Amino acid sequence: MSPIMAEERGDVTALLDELRRGEPDAESRLLSLVYLRLKRLAQIYLRKERSDHTLHPTDLVHEVYLRMTGARTDCQDRAHFFRVAAQAMRRILVDHARAHHAQKRGEGHDRIPFDDAVLVSADSFEQVIEVDEALERLSLIDPRQAHIAELRYFAELSVEETAKALGCSDRTIKREWRIARAWLRRELSRREHA
């Protein structure tokens, strides 16, 4: 059985339980089980980055896993684990973009509206940072909408995959995504005009 098929059977949740109980080999078994899915998620994230990005999918997966295990993140189940992983990947990429942007400060960068950011690949460091900051503000207002936007935009999950990850109906995800996207578009538009 492939690791992804085993993962779908709920083994990730069982391994997370074992990890919480302190089972000695649970962490290594968990990594081998989720590695392919994390790498696929990293590839999706990095597709939105500039072509000469210095991070590679394998590097990103390892960094995410180190952060998650180093912080002893207490994930309740498979969906929660991958939500936390997606957030960690976003944080790593945003931190990387900020560091790179700090080196290039002073060069002019055009702001890109949210709709354009969704439709084209993200070549601009500022765009990644602006979308991240807007998502942080949205999470203070409506955490679920922020999670939906993160999974739909950054992780490129389908409506169905997002609904499954968040335990909602497809209809709820579609409605909340429309609202979140409109809010983010307005936020980014305000900053563009400021």
Q: What was the pLDDT predicted at 174?
A: 95
- Position 145 scores a pLDDT of 92
Question: What is the SS3 assignment for 116?
Answer: helix
Helix (H) or strand (E) holding 115: helix 114-119
pLDDT at 10 (0 to 100): 66
Same domain, yes or no: 68 and 142: no
Q: Same domain for 72 and 154? A: no
10-residue stretch averages of pLDDT, the chain, 194 residues long: 52 86 87 86 76 77 82 74 83 79 53 44 59 87 90 79 86 95 88 67
| Domain edge (last residue) among 35, 57, 76 | 76
Alpha carbon distance 134, 40 (integer Å): 25
pLDDT score of 56: 84
Same-domain check for residues 63 and 132: no
Quote the CA–CA distance of 137 and 42 in Å, as a whole number: 24
Domain membership of residue 84 (yes or no) is no
CA distance 135 to 187: 10
The reply to whether 123 and 56 lie within a common domain is no
Q: Are residues 71 and 114 in the same domain?
A: no
The whole domain housing 3 covers 1-76
Examine residue 155 and state whether it is found in any structural domain, yes or no. yes
* Same domain as 8, residue 48: yes
Determine the pLDDT at residue 142.
Answer: 93
Report the domain count for the chain: 2
Last residue of a domain, one of 35, 60, 76: 76
Is 152 inside a domain boundary?
A: yes
Asked whether residue 13 falls in the same domain as residue 63, the answer is: yes
Return the axis-axis angle of helices 57-70 and 26-47, rounded to nearest 10°.
130
Would you state the pLDDT for residue 96? Answer: 79
- pLDDT of 118 reads 42
